[in-house]
Amino acid sequence: RKTLSTFLLLYCEHSVFVLEEEVNLNCPPLGLESLKVKDGQLRASSYKRRGLGPHRSRLNIQSGIEDGDIYDGAWCAQHKDEQQWLEVDARRLTRFTGVILQGRNSIWRWDLVHTYKVQFSNDSLVWKPSMNGTEEAVYEGNQDTETPVLALFNTSTVARYIRINPQTWYQNGTEGDICLRAEVLGCTLPDPNNIYPWQTEPTESKDKLDFRHHNYKEMRKLMKLVHEACPDITRIYSIGKSYTGLKLYVMEISDNPGKHELGEPEFRYVAGMHGNEVLGRELLLNLMQYMCQEYKRGDQRIVHLVKETRIHLLPSMNPDGYEMAFKKGSELAGWALGRYSYEGIDMNHNFADLNSVMWTAIELETDRSKLINHYFPIPEQYTSEEAFVASETRAVINWMQNIPFVLGANLHGGELVVTYPYDMTRDWAPREHTPTPDESFFRWLATSYASTNQVMSNPDRRPCHNKDFLRYNNIINGADWHIVPGSMNDFSYLHTNCFEVTVELSCDKFPHASELPIEWENNRESLLVYMEQVHRGIKGVVRDKDTEAGIADAIIKVDDIDHHIRSVADGDYWRLLNPGEYQVTASAEGYFPSTRTCQVMYEHYPTLCDFRLTKMPKQRLKEILAKGGKLPKDLQLRLRQLRLRKLRCEYALIA
């Protein structure tokens, strides 16, 4: 038996002796699920139709709503016999250690493989079976269609090709088909002679970060290490607890952590709303490490972000769900384990449905001047203790209400696309383009992430599951994809000043740890570029003309955009806008409104647009009398004029 470093492949005409190793190595997946394995590397003995071809044999691939289209949920053989096979070409010598199998994803069919054999080859002509002692090994497959089942080989085998050969399957009388989804585990052998240079893909990152999956304790430890490395620009705080008592930790990055600075916008990233969509969690942990390192190194881009922005990173909104998925591992968690909260709540549908409140008001109110278009109040039934609202959702809502966020993004997984509000259709149609008044800016936000993401922007990439988002330039209105009532994005837009999009980061919800460095490389620029968009548009302070004090809750209205925002406690505000000229009006209770023209340029900084509002005489009088003060002469004169005007009107009516 040869060692791994000195193995020889012995050819005898068409025969190949495939070397075996007794010990199973901890090898990563080849990448059927992550699309690292290309469609051309997959072959099959037969298939029923294009939509059930070998390219659909990827672990966790999701079918379209209608069976029979080109996006079905597995490879399915045309024939029903023991000679059917699915073949994977690793394209270079690989030490194969195991296979993971799933049944067919379908809402109409129940097809799965119960047992199977495995064969190996170096030329796809001569095949050697996987053995169990002196007999050909038969591996256990699936008992349901969704649970991934791992089979580790008794002896790892070095080869280029591997075949999965179903032996028994769910018959369902005569209706059952041979269908499966799979992942193959294997370690690529070293290539010291550079025989396969064209196949060498980058697997590392130039950044020295902690690339691995972090459970709750490890996440907390890493955040503490970042804070200790950069205590002057970081702060760790908790916004609440999960159902099981795990804290929802946030890392703040700012040159003055713990304090809102006048004129400085607040930004947030939220990850892990679905606990099994883990890439966002790791990217945010990488991001806080990276920003700390680069700030200390003097990288001017990062220094500027830290000094001009207050950044909040919530890496795990659903830590209970994550812990469930983490215990199973990246390939065995399946498509849904850990998605929901401990109570079984999907937090992506758990925010107050303010869309329905808004559209109902529009239908019932005849006087459009009485309609509101922002800061919609939360319905009373939603805030009651009996409401089916996750403790994690309540904590995030309180966080959104307490910090004046301007821009945010919600990081998900399982697709490659950026979605923007609204996420819900007006008439509950299954899907329909449903734009906000800020459609053009939301499209810009989504594009800023998608166009700088190395995978999304690749014109040659294949679709993840059942929709080709390349046709939409990798961005889509949420409601035009599928409806999500009670989404975080819509709630944020309708209840606060904050604009928010959803970023679907990868086809694979739970990438293997070996893929994390390249996923960071794919997303690093996008994460930074998107944060920088918080500085687009206009910003300013609304002040009292006499006292120069900031005015809170002043309404900022932009002509021709039917969505207002408000100033915060110190009177400062931020209004995200695309380049152009805008008529902007600031108004506040007890003040005369003020309008001015604000020009937004293409530079990466906002246009200053301050307002000084004059108090109405009635408001000034009320404040002076409340303090027991004397009326100033200008106010006395103004009141005298108002009385005279009133008397003249009364006299005219009598006459």
Domain boundaries, the chain: 39-190, 216-535, 538-615, 627-654
| Whole-structure pTM value | 0.90
Summarised one tens digit per residue, pLDDT across range 420-446 is 999 999 988 888 999 999 999 999 999
Strand-pairing partners, residue 21, are 156
Buried b (16+ CB within 10 A) or exposed e, 347-373: bbbbbbbbbebbbeeeeeeeeeeeeee
Summarised one tens digit per residue, pLDDT across range 187-241 is 999 876 666 655 556 678 899 999 999 999 999 999 999 999 999 999 999 999 9
Q: Name the CATH architecture for the domain at 39-190.
A: Sandwich (2.60)
Close Cβ partners of 597 (under 8 Å, ≥ 6 residues apart):
581, 582, 583, 584
pLDDT of residue 70: 79
Close Cβ partners of 142 (under 8 Å, ≥ 6 residues apart):
101, 102, 103, 112, 113, 114, 149, 180
DSSP-assigned states of every residue in 101-131 = EE----SS----EEEEEEEEESSSSS-EE-E
| 216-535 matches 39-190 in CATH topology | no
Summarised one tens digit per residue, pLDDT across range 491-523 is 999 999 999 999 999 999 999 999 999 999 999
Give the relative orientation of helices 279-297 and 300-308 as an angle to the nearest 10 degrees.
Answer: 110
Mean pLDDT of all residues in 33-40: 94
pLDDT of residue 649: 74
pLDDT interval class at 271 (50, 70, 90): very high
pLDDT interval class at 12 (50, 70, 90): very low
pLDDT of residue 11: 37
pLDDT interval class at 620 (50, 70, 90): low
pLDDT higher at 629 or 482: 482
pLDDT of residue 25: 58
Q: Whose structure tokens read 């009651």?
A: 384
Q: Amino acid identity of 305? A: L
Count Cβ atoms below 10 Å from residue 314 Cβ, excluding itself. 25
d(CA 373, CA 437) in angstroms, rounded, equals 10
Mean pLDDT of all residues in 615-630: 73
> Six-digit token pair at 360?
């109902």
pLDDT interval class at 23 (50, 70, 90): very low
CATH 3.40.1710.10 at 216-535, yes or no: no
Summarised one tens digit per residue, pLDDT across range 456-494 is 999 999 899 989 999 999 999 999 999 999 999 999 999
Mean pLDDT of all residues in 530-556: 96
pLDDT of residue 7: 40
Average pLDDT, whole number, for the chain? 90
d(CA 266, CA 85) in angstroms, rounded, equals 55
Name the DSSP letter for residue 325.
H
> Six-digit token pair at 151?
């089979």
CATH 2.60.40.1120 at 538-615, yes or no: yes
pLDDT interval class at 68 (50, 70, 90): low
Mean pLDDT of all residues in 53-57: 96
261 is catalytic: no
- Residue 89 in contact with residue 160, Cβ under 8 Å? yes
> Six-digit token pair at 541?
């302070």
Q: At residue 96, does pLDDT exceed 50?
A: yes
Give the relative orientation of helices 617-626 and 633-654 as an angle to the nearest 10 degrees.
Answer: 120
Mean pLDDT of all residues in 601-616: 92
* Catalytic entry in 33, 87, 277, 504: 504
Strand-pairing partners, residue 180, are 75
pLDDT of residue 279: 97
pLDDT of residue 21: 46
